[in-house]
Amino acid sequence: MSRGRPAPLLEVRGLVKRYREGEGERTVLDGLELELAAGEFMVLLGRSGSGKSTLLNLISGVDRADAGTVRLDGADLGQLSERGRTLLRRDRIGFVYQFFNLIPILTVWENVLLPMEFAGRAPAAAVERARGILERVGLAARTDTYPDRLSGGEQQRVALVRALVHEPRLLLADEPTGNLDAASGAQVLQLLRELSRGRHAVLMVTHSEEAARVADRALVLEAGRLRPLQAGEP
C-alpha cells in the first residue's frame, strides 16, 4: 500500500449526512470525498445551503455522519469516543468563523490564551508564540483592549491568533472574511496564507474569488459532493 507518499492529513471517504425534514429526509452530503495534504491551502466554495458548514462540523467531529469516514492525522473520528473527538479537536484543529466569537468580557490577550487554559497548559513557549503571532498580525499594542474596541478586521485577526496559538495541524475557517470590508478581508486572507505556509493545512469556506485564486486548490460543493472549480468560475 504505502509507497512513500505520505498519508493525507485529512481523508474523507463516502461521507453522507441527512437531515430530517418534515416527514422525509434531506441528503446534504452524498458520498463526499476529500483529501487534504499537510500544509495545503484549500478553498471550498458553494452556494448557501449546499452543506459547507455541515462538512466542517463533520470534519471537526462536532457532528456525526450517517455514513462514511473522516480520518484526521491518522485517527478515524468514527472510532473515537466523544472524549477522544473532543481532545482531537482541541489539540489538532483551529477554528475561525464568520463572526469572530471573541469573549467580550476578556481582553485580547485573555481571548488568545483561553483555549490553552482550557487545555490545562499555557507553557512559556506557547505564551511566547502568542506574543509573536499577535506581533505578526499587528496587534501587539492592543493586548489589553477589549474586543468591542476593535474593528471587525482587528477582531478577526485576534480570532486567527487564537486559532493558531496551539499549533493545530488543520485550520478550519468558515467564511472568515464574510463579515469584513474588502480591505480587511484581503488582509485576513493574506495573513491566513502567510501564517499557514507549510505549518498546518487550511480548509477555508468562502465566497471570495480572491481566496479561490490564491488557494492551492479550489473545490465547489454541489449536490452533496466536491468538484474542482472550473476556469472562469464563479
Q: What is the contact surface with ligand ADP in residues (CB under 6 A)?
A: 19, 28, 46, 48-54
Cβ pair 89, 106 in contact under 8 A: no
Distance, CA of 103 to CA of 159 (rounded, Å) = 10
Comparison of 73 and 174: residue with beta carbon closer to Mg ion: 174
Considering CB distances under 5 to 8 angstroms, the limit depending on partner class, which of Mg ion, ligand ADP, none binds residue 92?
none
Considering CB distances under 5 to 8 angstroms, the limit depending on partner class, which of Mg ion, ligand ADP, none binds residue 157?
none
Residue 210: partners with Cβ closer than 8 Å, 6 or more residues away: 186, 189
Cβ at position 87, least distance to Mg ion in Å = 25
Cβ at position 47, least distance to ligand ADP in Å = 7
Comparison of 4 and 49: residue with beta carbon closer to ligand ADP: 49
Considering CB distances under 5 to 8 angstroms, the limit depending on partner class, which of Mg ion, ligand ADP, none binds residue 123?
none
Comparison of 42 and 112: residue with beta carbon closer to Mg ion: 42
DSSP state of 149: G
Nearest to 102 by CA among 151, 52, 170: 151
Distance, CA of 152 to CA of 52 (rounded, Å) = 23
Comparison of 133 and 173: residue with beta carbon closer to Mg ion: 173
The H or E element containing residue 50 is none
